[in-house]
Structure formats: structure tokens, C-alpha cells
Amino acid sequence: MNTDALFLPGAPEMVEGDFSRLELSDTGALSVPGSRWKALQYKGSSVLTSARASELRGWEGTYTSYMRALYLQLPALDPRIPLLARYISDTQVTPFGRAEALERHLRTEFGYTLELPPQPPADPLADFLFRRKKGHCEYFASAMTVMLRSIGIPARLANGFQSGLYNPVSGYYTIRGSDAHAWVEAYFPVYDWVTFDPTPAEQQPGAAPGRSWLYLDALETFWSDWIVEYDRGRQTTLARALESRWYDFGFEAISRWERGWQRAERGWRLAKRNPAKIFDGALTVVAGAVLVALLAFTWPRIRSLLAARRARRGHANVEDCAILYGRALDELKRRGLPRESCETAQEFARRVQPPECPPARAALFHQITDTYHRARFGRDRAATRQLAALIQQWNSG
């Protein structure tokens, strides 16, 4: 994915992985610098808060100066926004009640849509709250975070994944790109961070994958668990499982092993009589290894070509758009203009200016960014086709 963040629920207490470096930000975000676009595997455990709403509604304490300084910061705001926040929440007497009122208002009075305005407004938050009154999850989460801070409640916007799909074949949950989500966390001393989700439920959820997908996903999980991550813990688990079933099928397994070994010995004796067969077998193994290595080396390029092909047909998904946009980012990084993890696509585009980047290339990248934004977040099929053409122009320039 186009991020070096680690995703863990609640308050992480342990994370384990093959990291050369692990960073923890002031706001509690975990990241592994340099892992963007790489396959990353890690394990972690978290503490999940279990504060009851009835307890939170009765809390009327105060916040420390540290929390107020860090989580009450605000940009220049349209003056109507804090007035709206106070109007919605003034009937409540506790911070949690005010937060609930803001969440309820956004969920019931606003609509959900993935369509973006044709032209980016000068003040996206004010445009969302007072004109369009519809948007995707980042609009809702940003609006509630800003309104909470404007009435003195420390809050932060959280990005990650929600729900996922349970696979009964593997026994795991699979989290897909379509599960990406943004929500709000408000701070209450003693109870820590409490989650709020002001985004209304989507009207048309995506179709569930077919049965064949369940088995393919289970096969990938099995490969990861028992081949890629086969460590001492897995060995112990497997040994205990075998021990518990030994009396049922242990002798049958041993007899099958012996029969297989006998067949292998017979094959080896036949091969010794004809050495050419041994050479042919070794050549097949080497050729297979070379093919696998070649596929692993060329897979990123193949993936990029497939994404461009789907985009030209207007069938690109969110991941395809990110891959195409990432090709432009890679070229700028080689020029000494890397995108920071804290920057949005549009913020980074404003930084791509001469003399660091030639004027024509900078203008093209700005056009790529606007098109990428419409294609990925607005699900605009015409924009996906245009994005593929712009990336082709960028690569040939």
C-alpha cells in the first residue's frame, strides 16, 4: 500500500515484525519508514477500551494542559463552523453528550456519496457543512473533529480499516481496500480515547465475493501461516495437533509414508540406471526456480501494466489508481522530491514547483494529481481513463 503506517486496533501494547526501524509519533501513530509499496507482515496486540456510555455521560472533569495544547489546535475556520457546533451541542451538559449530539447530527442530517465536486472548493469543510451536505467518510470525520475542538473537546481524526469479511474456510478476517475508513476519536481522561463514527451507512454495499474467492484466500492464508511464517510457535502448534489425533490416524499416516518412501527408492534405482533422467529432473527444478525469481522481479511492472490496462477501459479500482499515481511519485522521488507521509496528494502537488521540477513536468503532475483524486475518491470512470493516458505521457516525457 502507499503508506508506511502500521494498522492496529485500540491502544497498541506490542508489535512484532522484521523492522529495521519503528517510529511512534506524538499522537500515537506507528510507522515503519521505508516500507511503502513493500510487502509487510507484522503481529500485534492492543488494549481495547470498554468504557460504557452511561459512565461517560456522567463525566464532567477537566483536561490537562498537554492534551489541550496538542488536540485543540485549529486552522483558520469559517466563523459559522464553531457557531454550528455550539448550536447542535448546547442542549447537552457533559463533553460526551456534546460529542454524541454532533455525531448524531452528521449521521442523520447529511448524506453519503463518493462523488466529488467538479471543482475543489476554496473551503472544503464549509462547503460540505453549509452547501453540499454530502460527502465521503473523510468529510464527516474532518467536520466532527474540527467541531469537537471548536467547543473545547480534544479530538483527532483516525484513518484505517473497518469491518472486513470473515472467511469461514480459513477462519480469518480479510481486510480489503474497500474497507478503508476514517472516523473520530475524542479524549476523556480515565477512559482514554473513545471512538465516534459520524459517517452514515452506505446505501449500496459491495457484493460479497464468490465461493471460489473464499478458497483462494484460504490457500493464501495457509501458505503464509505454514510456509512463510513456519517458526517454532507454528511447530509447537502443529505438534500438539498431531499428538491429539495420533491415535486416530497416526498408524495410517506412517504406513502411507513408508509406501511413498518405497516408491521414491524404486524411482531412484530406475534413475540411476538412466542418468539422463536425473539431469532432466535437475534442469526442470532449476528452470522452475529461475521462472519464479523472474516472476517475482517483474511482478511490480506487470501489476502496473495491468492497472494501466484496466484504467484505459474505465474499470480501474482504488488500488489501480494508487499504483498509477505511485509511478509518478517514484519518478519525483528520484529527482529528490519525495512525498512525506503526512502530506495529502494535493498538498504534495503544491510543493512540486520549479526550479525543483521543470515547469511543464510540474503542470503535468498537478493535472495527474487532480485526475487521481477524482478517479480514486470520486470513482469517476472517465477520470480513470484520463489518469492512464496522463501517466503514459508522464513516463514518456
Residue 321, φ and ψ in degrees, nearest 5: -60, -40
Q: Which residue intervals of the chain are DSSP H helices?
A: 53-57, 65-71, 80-89, 95-109, 124-127, 137-150, 211-223, 232-244, 246-273, 275-312, 318-334, 345-351, 359-377, 381-396
Q: Are residues 348 and 370 in the same domain?
A: yes
Please state, in angstroms and rounded to a whole number, the distance separating the CA atoms of residues 60 and 63.
10
What number of CA atoms fall less than 13 Å from residue 287's CA on the CB side?
Answer: 6
Q: Are residues 133 and 42 in the same domain?
A: no
Q: Are residues 37 and 76 in the same domain?
A: no
Domain count for the chain: 4
Quote the distance between the C-alpha of residue 311 and its chain's center. 21
Quote the distance between the C-alpha of residue 244 and its chain's center. 39
Please state, in angstroms and rounded to a whole number, the distance separating the CA atoms of residues 126 and 378.
19
Q: What is the pLDDT of residue 312?
A: 72
Q: What is the pLDDT of residue 330?
A: 85
What number of CA atoms fall less than 13 Å from residue 224's CA on the CB side?
Answer: 13
Q: What is the pLDDT of residue 332?
A: 86
For the stretch 256-277, pLDDT in tens is 777 777 777 777 676 666 666 5
Q: Are residues 131 and 27 in the same domain?
A: no
Q: Are residues 60 and 18 in the same domain?
A: no
Q: What is the pLDDT of residue 183?
A: 93
Q: At 203, list the grid cell.
A: 446505501
Q: Are residues 27 and 60 in the same domain?
A: no
Q: Are residues 179 and 237 in the same domain?
A: no
Please state, in angstroms and rounded to a whole number, the distance separating the CA atoms of residues 4 and 38.
9
Q: What is the pLDDT of residue 396?
A: 80
Residue ending a domain, choose from 200, 225, 241: 241
On whether residue 349 sits in a domain, the answer given is yes
Residue ending a domain, choose from 193, 208, 223: 208
On whether residue 174 sits in a domain, the answer given is yes
On whether the CB atoms of residues 8 and 44 are closer than 8 A, the answer is yes
Q: What is the pLDDT of residue 145?
A: 97
The boundaries of the domain holding residue 16 are 11-47
Q: What is the pLDDT of residue 233?
A: 59
Predicted TM-score (pTM) of this structure: 0.58
Q: Are residues 43 and 126 in the same domain?
A: no
Q: Are residues 96 and 190 in the same domain?
A: yes
Q: What is the pLDDT of residue 139?
A: 93
Please state, in angstroms and rounded to a whole number, the distance separating the CA atoms of residues 96 and 279.
74
Q: Are residues 67 and 198 in the same domain?
A: yes
On whether residue 292 sits in a domain, the answer given is no
Q: Are residues 118 and 79 in the same domain?
A: yes
On whether residue 2 sits in a domain, the answer given is no
Q: Is the dihedral of CA 371, 374, 379, 383 positive or negative?
A: negative
Separation in Å, CA 45 to CA 16, 25, 42, 222: 9, 18, 11, 21
Residue ending a domain, choose from 208, 229, 261: 208
On whether residue 260 sits in a domain, the answer given is no
Q: What is the pLDDT of residue 391?
A: 83
Please state, in angstroms and rounded to a whole number, the distance separating the CA atoms of residues 230 and 175.
23
Q: Are residues 304 and 192 in the same domain?
A: no
On whether residue 248 sits in a domain, the answer given is no
On whether residue 108 sits in a domain, the answer given is yes
On whether residue 35 sits in a domain, the answer given is yes
Residues lower than pLDDT 50 in the chain: 203-206
